[in-house]
């Protein structure tokens, strides 16, 4: 039975390419291993691609990662086995999730996997981003750029730092 956090099925071809790409990333790039590190990497915007195992138990360990990736617009995929996921990056133990921060020599492979999983090629992605930028109201852009940053205000129950020294 499919887990509740698995939002889509991934073909065996994409799964095998994912394992191969992760082996390359391990050698020449930078990855984060485990649900906690993946979560941090995604929240900080450092991850460029996330892989989640489909057999994690309990599900609560990784159930938040797909939603977080969608919010941060970071592509993600699934593989069926946490044991194989761990082996693909050189671990002797299972691994629930992996975040690719720097693809290294596997950059082309990762982009290929992303295009197959999302159904959007790299050129189409750039076009979609450019289209979204054009749709943005030019006045809103100017307001955001010119908006002054709010100054911190002293709390009423505490004196200002200059008053406290007197």
The answer to whether residue 93 sits within a structural domain is yes
The answer to whether residue 22 sits within a structural domain is yes
- 18-65 pLDDT, tens digit per residue, is 888 888 888 888 999 999 999 999 999 999 999 998 888 888 888 899
Q: Show the low-confidence residues of the chain (pLDDT under 70).
A: 1-7, 120-166
The answer to whether residue 89 sits within a structural domain is yes
The answer to whether residue 100 sits within a structural domain is yes
Number of independent structural domains in the chain: 1
The answer to whether residue 166 sits within a structural domain is no
The answer to whether residue 60 sits within a structural domain is yes
pLDDT, position 94: 93
Q: Return the CATH number at 111.
A: 3.30.1330.30
pLDDT, position 123: 46
The answer to whether residue 159 sits within a structural domain is no
Nearest-angstrom CA–CA distance, 82 and 55: 6
Torsion of CA 111, 117, 123, 125, to 10 degrees: -110
Q: Taking Cα atoms as reference points, which of 94, 109, 89 lies closest to residue 22?
A: 89
Range of the domain at 16: 12-117
pTM listed for this prediction: 0.68
The answer to whether residue 110 sits within a structural domain is yes
Nearest-angstrom CA–CA distance, 85 and 66: 17
């Amino acid at each position: 039975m499919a887990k509740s956090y698995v939002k889509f099925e991934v073909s065996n071809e994409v799964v095998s390419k994912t394992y191969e790409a992760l082996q390359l990333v391990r050698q020449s790039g930078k990855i984060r291993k485990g649900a906690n590190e993946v979560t941090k990497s995604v929240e900080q915007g450092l991850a460029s691609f996330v892989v989640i195992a489909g057999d994690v138990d309990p599900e609560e360990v990784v159930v938040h990662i797909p939603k977080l990736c969608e919010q941060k617009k970071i592509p993600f995929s699934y593989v069926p086995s946490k044991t194989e996921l761990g082996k693909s990056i050189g671990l002797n133990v299972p691994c629930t999730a992996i975040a690719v921060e720097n693809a290294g020599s596997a950059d082309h492979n990762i982009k290929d996997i992303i295009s197959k999983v999302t159904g959007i090629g790299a050129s189409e992605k750039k076009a979609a981003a450019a289209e979204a930028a054009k749709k943005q109201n030019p006045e809103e852009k100017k307001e955001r750029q010119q908006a002054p940053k709010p100054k911190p205000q002293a709390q009423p129950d505490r004196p200002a730092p200059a008053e406290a020294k007197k």
